[in-house]
Amino acid sequence: MQILNTVSDLRAVVKAWRKAGDTIAFVPTMGNLHAGHIDLVNKAKASADRVVVSIFVNPTQFGVGEDFLTYPRTEQADQEQLLGVGTDALFLPAVTDIFSSDAATAITVSGISERYCGAFRPGHFSGVATVVCKLFNIVQPDKALFGLKDFQQLTVIKTMVRDLNIPVDIIPVETVREDSGLALSSRNGYLSVAEKQVAPELNRVLRVAKDAILAGQLSIAEIEQQALATLEKFGFKSDYFSVCRSQDLTAATLEDKEIVILAAAKLGKTRLIDNIYFSKGV
Ligand code: PAF
């Protein structure tokens, strides 16, 4: 595995692969890799000749008072895992390699970026869209793989790629979960032992809400209210629990067929997100 720290080094490697006719799949990450990331890398390997993984804790997607400084950085362990699954190149830039101090350009994917997580983390999705666009320009992959756990992030990125005609196929990959149902996340490491026992309730409540929608006996507002009340009973402080159309993440009605339920809630100081998506009547 080649480890590249600068944009020019990464570009030189990619250029040589391109010359040889190789296709390239890209997995952008912020490190602290878990089985969900490794699943992305394995799927990337199965879909292209070469796999590039980036590890970059992007300061522009963290808000004031968020965990940028304390975000888990486990570079050595990450490198070993990536080597173990046959990653071809690891891009490990410094913040100054990605953002010059006089950078004047940012990407805003309006509408979708302001709802749900965007409402609670102003500027977050602009930070994500900007860094992902820059990484796409640097790596120039044929395809890029993203986890469905971050459903809103995935939708923001798909919208950006469509609107800016970025020639990258976005491949969504299923969320990897613990046996308890808890979605794997680097932030799970912040949970105390007691919180870890409770955290899977978020996924359970999502599944209950899905069943209620399929049963069709309650309104969407009632289903959302019940879910919020259950989460509160378990000690979560919810940011939102919203039944949406999976296509554009606008509020769903009971007539909609393609549904995603998005949820974000704090357990202690840990903010968890999860979702469940399904088709009705299939
Ligand atoms: O999902 C993440 O890890 C990050 O938001 C991403 C896509 C790597 C951009 O920094």
Residue type, 186: S
State in Å: Cα 220 to ligand 1 middle. 31
In this predicted structure, the answer to whether residue 75 has a pLDDT above a threshold of 70 is yes
Number of domains composing the chain: 2
Percent of the chain that is helix, strand, coil (3-state, to 5):
45, 20, 35
Which residue range(s) make up the domain with 9?
2-173
User: Which of 107, 139, 173 is where one domain is finished?
Assistant: 173
Per-residue pLDDT, averaged over 97-122, amounts to 97
Does 21 share its domain with 95?
A: yes
Confidence of residue 282 (pLDDT cuts 50, 70, 90): low
* Average pLDDT of the residues in 219-242: 98
On the question of pLDDT at 243 being above 80, the answer is yes
Verify whether ligand 1 is closer than 6 Å to residue 36 (CB atom): no
Q: 31 and 78 share a domain?
A: yes
Q: What CATH number does residue 194 fall under?
A: 3.30.1300.10
Same domain, 204 and 145: no
pLDDT per position as a tens digit, 176-200: 999 999 999 999 999 999 999 999 9
* Same-domain pairing of 10 and 144: yes
Domain boundary residue among 119, 140, 173?
173
| 201 CB within 6 A, ligand 1 | no
Q: Which pLDDT value is given to residue 140? A: 98
CB 45 within 8 A of CB 88: no
* Average pLDDT of the segment spanning 226-241: 98
pLDDT score recorded for residue 281? 79
Q: Which atom of ligand 1 is nearest to the CA of 147?
A: 1
pTM of full prediction above 0.85: yes
150 lines ligand 1 (CB under 6 A): yes
The CATH number given to whatever domain includes residue 46 is 3.40.50.620
Q: Is 100 exposed, middle or buried (0-12, 13-18, 19+ CB in 10 A)?
A: exposed
Could you tell me if 40 and 105 lie in one domain?
A: yes
CA dihedral 277, 25, 106, 242 (to 10 degrees): 10
